[in-house]
Amino acid sequence: MKGPLVLTAFVVCLLGTTAALDRLVIKGSKFFNSRTGEQFYFKGIAYQPQDEDNSTRDPLADTEACHRDIKVFKDLGLNSIRVYDVNYENNHEECMRALEEAGIYLFLDIPNSTNAINRADPTWDLDLFNHYKNKIDAFAEHSNIAAFLIGNEVTNSISTTPSSAYVKAATRDIKAYIRSLGKEIPVGYADNDDPAVAKNLVPFFVCGDDPLAQIDFYAINTYRWCGKEATFQTSGYSILTEKFRNFSMPVLLSEYGCNIVRPRTFSEVRSIFGPDMQDVFSGGFMYEYSQETNDYGIVKIPGSGDSVTRYIDFDDFRREIRNASPKGVNFEHYNPAKSVQRCPAVSEEWQTSSKALPPTPNEQACQCMFNSLECALSSDYSDSEGKILGDFLGYVCGENPDACAEVSGFTKTGQYGIYSGCSAQQRSSYIINANYLAQNRNRNACKIDGVSAKIKPRSSAAVQRKCENFASTSAMKPHDFTDTKGHVGRNSNSISSKDFGALAKYKNSDNDMDSMSDSQSGTAESIRAMFLLTTIISACLAWYSL
């Protein structure tokens, strides 16, 4: 019996680990392969093909195209791709498995074009939190998920600096959620390489006492290096590198590849992966794979068939990236110096206090509040009513700011209402109800032309106090995810017609972590064989989980 069991164990071990890529881990300012200890550099490309009408396509759900393009990725010598937009409801298993077998990691944006923090009217609420968690659920189990991006160029000007508070709150809650799943997947942010903004943005995302609120790595979309005549010094890459030389966490280029001068020769690759930058940057992602309307692609995706058309840029990039051979350090021999970043002060250039962040959206507290309202939006409320409702809410908040305080956020002072993390429908209803009560429950005050609102049975003051106490207590426990099916979170925001016009509903994820357990039984003569079997399988599982 011993022989077959041991053989089976080795086969299980082999089959269970050959497809899985080694997990990437962070130590100090560098990425490492968790098994070999070798420093890891992203030799990647942005991968987001669009349909003929320029609409967004989920590239990881198109299995035929995925297999076709993976062959090209391997020919290029890539070890990673960045994907911006996927639908978590689609099936990505086959493509993720194919990428894994090809040795390619995924660098995935959590927001997408329709579900992201709005830089002009920012909020971090239940709708967004649930959407983000559903995307985490769809990809967290794959060994080749290298990292998540919590935001891409959200704050891109002085006037949009308040949005950073909401991105940092999202970072805190998403990192807590990932940890609740038993995972350690890095979460970072990508900026637009604007020095005027970055001087405050960079320290803001890494400062503070809560490690969950700090990003794990910093990414930069930069197009400084233009043309074959550019150099490390003339392009400004030298300035960028010096800026991050003593940075406390990894930094990489989430986009690069200026196309002002054509054809592109990609001479910057030699600096990114060579002596100029290899000690500071962890590689990067060239923008981009497929030719779209913005004219950055190195291949043309066919309407049908199994091959792509390669542009002249393709061969230049292939030559440079395949020759890239950065010299890193070993995990065990690397002893990073700890550095502390001071949080930026509120100023005309930085309109966000570091003293407090928007609270975690709490589904139970928000539902309690909504159920207690006497005048509220109907469940069949539609997006078409958003503009009407937005104007109405703006008027109410202007006339009676107190009616909106508990569902609003003020980044300069760091003050956020206890219900500021509720969904747009719930926050809107809270304001409508406050206006209804302020008008002595006049039935006409619950009638808004063109908007579906209705009067509900009156709730007691005790119920209101219970909900407020629930919300206040929950806001003090931002990282409690004991129930991973129920979506807990943090949030807040200022009121605007844009915000209340988008009342999308998202399906909550009910996926639990898969758990593994071994059961053993047998007679006296099989005990030794079972011990060997258990030892081998345990070793396999330990290696696999790295």
Catalytic residues: 153, 255
Residue type, 412: K
Question: Hey, what are 133's tokens?
Answer: 């968690």
Q: Residue 352 and residue 539: Cα distance in Å, rounded?
A: 49
Find residue 360's DSSP bridge partners: 490
Element (H, E) at 361: strand 360-362
Q: Within a 13 Å sphere around the CA of 134, how many CA atoms are in the beta-carbon half?
A: 20
Contact 112, 56 (CB under 8 A): yes
Query: Which is nearest to 157 in space by CA: 190, 192, 188?
Result: 192
Q: DSSP string spanning 457-478?
A: PPPPHHHHHHHHHHHHHHHT-T
In this structure, which long-range contacts are made by residues 306-314, counting pairs with CB atoms below 8 Å and at least 24 apart in sequence? 306/64, 306/68, 307/68, 308/68, 308/69, 308/72, 311/263, 312/263, 313/262, 313/263, 313/264, 313/266
Question: Hey, what are 409's tokens?
Answer: 């956020």
Q: How far is CA 371 from CA 180, 276, 497, 516, in A?
A: 29, 60, 23, 40
Q: How far is CA 299 from CA 304, 318, 494, in A?
A: 14, 12, 43
> How many contiguous H segments (helices) and E segments (strands) does the chain have?
15, 19
Query: How distant is the alpha carbon of residue 220 from its chain centre?
Result: 15
Question: Hey, what are 294's tokens?
Answer: 């913005």
Q: Residue 314 and residue 274: Cα distance in Å, rounded?
A: 21
Q: Is 36 exposed, middle or buried (0-12, 13-18, 19+ CB in 10 A)?
A: exposed
Find residue 219's DSSP bridge partners: 190, 252
Question: Hey, what are 204's tokens?
Answer: 């803001």
